Structure 1
């Protein structure tokens, strides 16, 4: 697959973060863009998502384990499918140069590549407590990455208010220590997880990310985040992109004596030393480069 970069128009350049926006991101660990994704691209992604859920694929992953991949019958409280842009062309269009350009400015890097993506659907809540995404950091799922500047883009496919399960970030938590391995995505007890990172002197401020269709939010890989149940009467559908800055590379990582591998390590090309190449454009396409 080719790199997806293209030049921005003057109108698009005007939508990039200002220096003050970058300073806000560095202080708080999150940022909300202006409307940068055209409605027609999102509407096409919605149709592509519906096709994907019906089992239609433009490409398939060569193996079936090691990643989240909701299937009919798994329940609708939270549908979680990874690396969908590789498998459905309509979702691939969301690897948009505006997202890459914004991320590059926030991370102060000259290039942005995809690391992985996740399509997440939440049905309206039936039973209280279901449909929660637990507090976690994205960094904790990328221990094989050398960078501490990676960040995520979150793209709701519709207006998202506080009732329709917005992304929720813990303000300023990217500056805290001890959260690098917070893998609590599937733990629905938010208070229980909070007790693991609550410390004297830490002010825990939950910020629901309220956005209009076409806006994109960004958060640092170490920003603690999750989401509440979907209390609206409509499904919530969103796409999350986990993004590499230009300098990110693979590094071996062990946990309790066991070497950890990311599920995409087996798909991408290898470097001369045998390590996975996290700049392989077939698996980790470039969204933006100067």
Structure 2
């Protein structure tokens, strides 16, 4: 895979784009990864599912062939530990530069990655919703919601194969009583959601071409419907944080594997080789 050593300046958001993100909590980039790069990325994704770890270091909670349910949503945490090509995706400096501008930050670090595979319907069965949730509900080990997710589409995505759907402005509502990635009944979730007065729950499908990247704030409510096509929907969620993100020790957030690496460091920055730098402003 071609190494993105330079930021693709034509992909960095304009001031108008940043204003849109500030208001709505999401934004979609132009194409960042070429078809040639995507082919190599998908090849290495498949190696992960065969348990072929290039670095010999295992990821967290990987789906494996002949061992796990073929109908299930495949979610692999920290694939960048195990594969150099997938690490390049998770640490791409163009993604970092975009995240920095959207978050008004001087530095962006990797929090963790999630390699995702939503299988096709196979024998006529649709599969694998992702329930409405706010990413920060899983990241309470971070003192503030100073995080953003870059979702890299490895294949074209639309409503037919379960593209992500965003709830505009929801990043301004605070942390709500919603946060179940694996919930399949999304309508029931919406019925019980306690949103602020004078706000409306509306959804926007994020239709993307392969190689595009969508960005959403850690408090933006999002989810996705089933894949009703024959082909798999492939992607990576690159979870990022600003250089000012600090660890906080509390009973609600210490179950996250990143928190386990910060025991005894209450109030300290997430920093060091466990959280690679994607972008840092020149001084």
Determine if the TM-score, normalized by the shorter chain, exceeds 0.5: yes
Residue number among 270, 275, 282 corresponding to 1:284 in the alignment: 275
How many residues are aligned here?
274
What is the TM-score of this pair, normalised by structure 2? 0.88
Task: Give CA deviations for 1:212-241 in whole Å, capped at 9, x if unaligned.
Answer: 112100000000111100011111111001
Which structure 2 residues correspond to residues 1-290 of structure 1 after superposition, within 5 A?
A: 6-8=5-7, 12-59=8-55, 68-72=61-65, 73-75=67-69, 76-94=71-89, 95-125=91-121, 126=123, 130-179=127-176, 182-199=178-195, 200-255=197-252, 260-267=254-261, 273=265, 278-281=270-273, 283-290=274-281
Q: State the distance in 2 between where 1:229 and 1:88 align.
A: 28
What is the TM-score of this pair, normalised by structure 1? 0.86
Q: Does the 8 A contact of 2:246 with 2:267 survive in 1? A: no
Q: Which ranges in structure 1 are unaligned for 5 or more consecutive residues? A: none
RMSD, matched Cα: 2.4
Q: State the distance in 1 between where 2:124 and 2:35 align.
A: 32
Q: Does the 8 A contact of 1:157 with 1:213 survive in 2? A: yes
SS at structure 1 position matched to 2:30:
coil
Task: Give CA deviations for 1:124-182 in whole Å, capped at 9, x if unaligned.
Answer: 13566631111111101110112323100001111112211111111111111342x63
Q: Which ranges in structure 2 are unaligned for 5 or more consecutive residues? A: none
SS at structure 2 position matched to 1:103:
helix
Q: Which moved more, 1:22-31 or 1:117-126?
A: 117-126
Q: State the distance in 1 between where 2:45 and 2:143 align.
A: 32
Q: State the distance in 1 between where 2:269 and 2:183 align.
A: 32
SS at structure 2 position matched to 1:171:
coil
SS at structure 2 position matched to 1:163:
helix
Cα distance 1:17–1:172, how it changes in 2: closer, same or farther (>3 A)?
same
- Structure 1 position 56, deviation (Å): 0.3
- Structure 1 position 68, deviation (Å): 3.6
